[in-house]
Amino acid sequence: MLFIVVGVVSGALLVGAAWGIWGKLPKPIEGFLVALAGGALLLSVTSELIEPSLEEGSLSVVALAVAAGAIVFAVVDYLIDEKWGPDSGGGLLAAITLDGIPENLALGVALIGAGSLEVAALAGSILLSNLPEAAGGAKEMGENGTSRIRIFELWAATAAILAAAAIAGNFLLKGASEDHLGAIRCFAAGAVIASLATEVFPKAFKEDRHWAGVATALGATLAFALGSLG
């Protein structure tokens, strides 16, 4: 199950990148899809990562782990934007993978001891997030003059890195205690929530204005429906 889920989620990056490079993606539709994915991911990380950790551990540990994840994301995101430049080769790859690594690490951890339906909400939300994120990112890279082949190569490398993060999270942490797993889940959740606040929702509102709020609500509802399958 691990490799099937990871393959589908990471493969969404390649499909989205191809869509952004060779397809047409109107700005309002892009914004709507980004907000839809953001709403789904926001609900999923809270219900599938934070809430289970609260049931097994203390509120103080959960709060500290979430805060630490958000702070680390904010610092690295600042370095990318202000120091390296988001349009440089290394900066582009770092910006693309920054929020994806915590998502996929959390996915790998969530799969430890879980049934096939228990991770449906998280995996589905990450997949929904990856499609428009890759499409929009690939389109912007093309507008900056990067060749189509080079863009697709960057996204293929990103997909491989994120798949490795999920597999590593699953295999390397199987023997970890529930307290440690909970802290890791919450750290990842904090990073993802910070990325939604600073990267995803501002972009969605810029492209689709107030319809982004409707799309976010629909995404959260979709994630709730996926979660109810378990």
- Tens of pLDDT, residues 62-82: 999 999 999 988 888 887 777
In this prediction the pTM is 0.79
CA distance 126 to 94: 18
pLDDT of the residue at 218? 93
pLDDT of the residue at 86? 55
The one-digit pLDDT tens for each residue of the chain (230 residues) are 678 788 888 888 899 889 888 987 788 888 898 899 889 889 888 887 888 888 877 899 999 999 999 998 888 888 777 766 555 545 555 656 766 777 777 778 777 765 566 667 667 777 877 788 788 778 877 877 778 998 898 889 889 988 998 888 888 877 777 788 888 888 888 988 988 888 789 888 988 888 999 999 999 998 888 777 65
CA distance 53 to 180: 10
CA distance 216 to 37: 7
Residue 175 within a domain: yes
Burial of 3 (0-12, 13-18, 19+ CB in 10 A): exposed
- Do 72 and 64 touch, CB atoms closer than 8 A? no
CA distance 215 to 77: 25
pLDDT of the residue at 83? 67
Residue 47 within a domain: no
Residue 154 within a domain: yes
Into how many domains does the chain fold?
A: 1
Residue 38 within a domain: no
- Do 159 and 18 touch, CB atoms closer than 8 A? no
pLDDT of the residue at 68? 94
Domain range for 153 is 2-22+53-227
Residue 33 within a domain: no
Residue 71 within a domain: yes
**How many other CB atoms sit within 10 Å of the CB of residue 210?**
7
Residue 48 within a domain: no
Residue 42 within a domain: no
